[in-house]
Chains A and B, each alone.
Chain A
Amino acid sequence: MAMLFRGYEIILQGRDPRDAIDISSRACGVCGGVHSSVSSQALDMAFGVQTPPMGVTVRNLGAGAEMLYDHPIHLGLLAGPDYSTALVSVTNPEIVRKAENTSAPHAHVHGYKTIKDIMDAMDPLTGAIYLEAIEFTRLGRARCATTCSASTRTRRRWCRVA
């Protein structure tokens, strides 16, 4: 429904190439870290420099931290409610009835006996998965804030060391 043009490609033209790290990450608020780490990889290629082994490690840590925060956001907050009982019972009640009688695989791992239980847990604002996802994004974000900034800037830190 919503369509958007911001012209970041035009803004990036003729700039200090290092600005790409920060500007391209503003393309998306959910996955921004990936945009900046890829920008810094592109800069590596453009300048013909090699990331030192520890730099690669730090970048990997950053990517891992982002995944830790990104997946709960997507699964719990953005996409999860679409599959919750609260919404599906309005749009497709027959699916909810079917879910009631379908047992969930690996129930001994996660504790939800039927698919309906999982759908209940994804209800916005009341479901257990939803609330836990919000809490986990906070933890993941704390991790991101400390690692991602380091990972996109490894090259600079390593200038001093190497």
Chain B
Amino acid sequence: MDGRDPFAAVGMRSKVVELPQANNAMRLGPLEKIYLIWMVGGSCDGCTIAVTGATNPRVEHLLAGIVPGLPKLELIHTVTSVESGPEWVHNLFMAERGELDAPFVVTWEGSMFDETRSGDGYFMGLGEDPETGRTITSAEWMRRLAPKAAAVIAIGTCATWGGIPAAEGNPTGSMAVMDYLGKDYRSAFGVPVVNVPGCSPIGDNYMETAAAVLLFLQGLAPLPEFDELGRPAWLFGETVHRHCPKRRLLRRRRLRRVLRGQGVLGRARLLGARGPVQHRRARHPQRDGWLHADGGHLHRVHDAGLPRQVLAYSAPPGSFISSRHTSRNGRVHPQDAHRHNGGQEPERPLGRQRGPIGLGAQHAAEGCSEAPPQGLPRLPALQDRALSSCSPVA
């Protein structure tokens, strides 16, 4: 490090990446720059990848500070930061002690672990305490950083509702950021936890939300409007169904009957099409997050209440009724809304999700001579396929 202070990590970054475009003439508010501390809990980094796909504004423009009105972002990220090891963690210590020269926003990706369950170990460690050498868990970082943060933005289904790590069986006690910090949490600037759900989320949804929050911190815009689940209201007010290019087919009765006759509608429900009950914008696949994105039609994992219902292949609760309402007006009927929001338990266990593994295989291997054994959950698509194809295979 040729005589430089090895722990001047943040300073080193500004020296390393000299950005010729950075231009203070475009600054409209009090903040020249802002630190974005991107932390992870039980995540897969898919949300990070999704955000690199955003185009409005682009992530590289925000980092270069060339978006008019927005402060320059200094990114402190677990994966893409240029520092590593103790240098990187030093940034977090500086943030906690309030030594950074600008406010910081925490973006949390992945679920919050309940570290009390991890015994002597930990589910997710992020750096060490320089004095004691003790590993600091990522959940502990959240506890230490959240009160000082200008805003806490939870990105992805994992961070907003618990997501797949919190699915049934949840060995790590995963929970959402909102659950971890409590509903009454307010950041240093008075912003509640901002939720941008989706697995993976749409990159532009995050970018627009972050830009709105930054504009608020700059004093150029009012606090954006959030719905009762902390999502930006202008992005998640409508269901996917509303913009589905095939929705008008449902309006035409004859076609509906034809579709049903072909099993298309039933199949769509069987595959867990959540369009009618999912609140999000259906958009161009390019901006539609990453591989998990299904091109906008069959998104299953964007809404609240997911953790106990990551049951990709069963119809979401309430979809039968609300698909009728949404086919007409594109919004969930208020009477149905309780069925699939707020993370409430469904009144009765959902069917067909707890199939014993291997029974279908066993059945197929036995020559498919008789009807499926009683008690085998019905998996029509697979069984049809297994039955119809067992002769060529066997």
Residue positions of A touching B, CB distance < 8 A: 1-8, 10-11, 13-19, 21-23, 25-30, 32-33, 36, 46-50, 66, 69, 73, 77-78, 81, 86-87, 90-91, 93, 123-126, 131, 134, 137-139, 141-142, 144-146, 148-149, 153, 155-156, 158-160, 162
CA A109 to CA B114, docked complex, whole Å: 53
Given the known interface contacts A21-B312, A131-B60, the answer about A28 and B45 at a Cβ–Cβ threshold of 8 Å is yes
Q: Contact check: which of B1, B44, B89 meets A26 at CB < 8 Å? A: B44
Q: How far is the CA of A33 from the CA of B365 in the complex (A)?
A: 29
- Give the 9 A-B residue pairs with the shortest CB-CB distance, closest first: A29-B46, A7-B171, A145-B285, A142-B286, A29-B45, A29-B44, A48-B364, A33-B291, A149-B294
Question: B residues within 8 A CB of A126?
Answer: 17, 19-20
Supposing A29-B45, A134-B60 touch, asked if A23 and B167 sit within 8 A by C-beta, the answer is yes
Interface size counted on chain B using CB atoms at 8 A: 102
A50 CB contacts on chain B under 8 angstroms: 389, 392-393
Q: Which residue of A lies closest to B359 (CB)?
A: A17
Q: Is the CB of B385 within 8 A of A2?
A: no
CA A131 – CA B314 in complex, angstroms? 41
CB < 8 Å: which of B89, B295, B394 contacts A145?
B295
The reply to whether the CB of B49 lies closer than 8 angstroms to some CB of chain A is yes
Cα A13 to Cα B358 in complex, Å, equals 11
Nearest residue (CB) in A for B78 is A2
- Report A41 CB to chain B, min CB distance, Å: 14
Docked complex Cα distance between A30 and B45 (Å): 7
When distances are taken between beta carbons in the complex, the residues of chain A under 8 Å from B4 are 90
How far is it, in angstroms, between the C-alpha of A8 and the C-alpha of B310 when the chains are bound?
12
| A35 → B minimal CB distance (Å) | 9
Q: Which residues of A contact B301 (CB under 8 A)?
A: 22
A19 touching B312, Cβ below 8 Å: yes
A120 to B227, CA, bound (A): 46
Interface pair A17/B355, CB less than 8 Å apart:
yes
A17, B124: Cβ atoms closer than 8 Å: no
Instruction: List residues of chain B with CB under 8 Å of any chain A CB.
Output: 1-2, 4, 12, 16-17, 19-20, 40, 42-50, 52-53, 55, 58-60, 63-64, 78-80, 82, 84-85, 88-89, 111, 118, 122-127, 138, 163-165, 167-172, 174, 199-200, 262-263, 267, 271, 284-286, 288-295, 298, 300-301, 310-314, 352-358, 360-361, 364-365, 377, 379, 381-382, 384-386, 388-390, 392-394
Are A32's CB and B286's CB within 8 A? no
Set B53, B164, B169, B360: member contacting A14, Cβ < 8 A: B169
When distances are taken between beta carbons in the complex, the residues of chain A under 8 Å from B49 are 29-30, 73, 137
Q: Are A49's CB and B16's CB within 8 A?
A: no
Instruction: Please give the distance in Å from B5's CB to the nearest CB on chain A.
Output: 13
Q: Label chain A's interface by main secondary structure.
A: helix
A157 to chain B, nearest CB (A): 10
> Contacts A125-B19, A137-B53, A149-B294 known; A26 to B313 CB distance under 8 Å?
no
Nearest Cβ on chain A to B35's Cβ, whole angstroms: 16
CB closest residue in chain A, given B168: A11
Could you jot down 10 A-B contacts, CB within 8 Å?
Answer: A1-B85, A2-B138, A4-B42, A10-B169, A16-B355, A18-B312, A23-B164, A28-B45, A46-B361, A141-B290
Q: Are A138 and B286 in contact (CB under 8 A)?
A: yes
- Contact residues in A for B394 (Cβ distance below 8 Å): 48
Given A29-B200, A73-B49, A93-B2, A14 and B44 touching (CB < 8 A)? Answer: no
* Residues in B neighbouring A81, C-beta threshold 8 A: 80, 82
B126 contacts across to A, CB distance below 8 A: 1-2
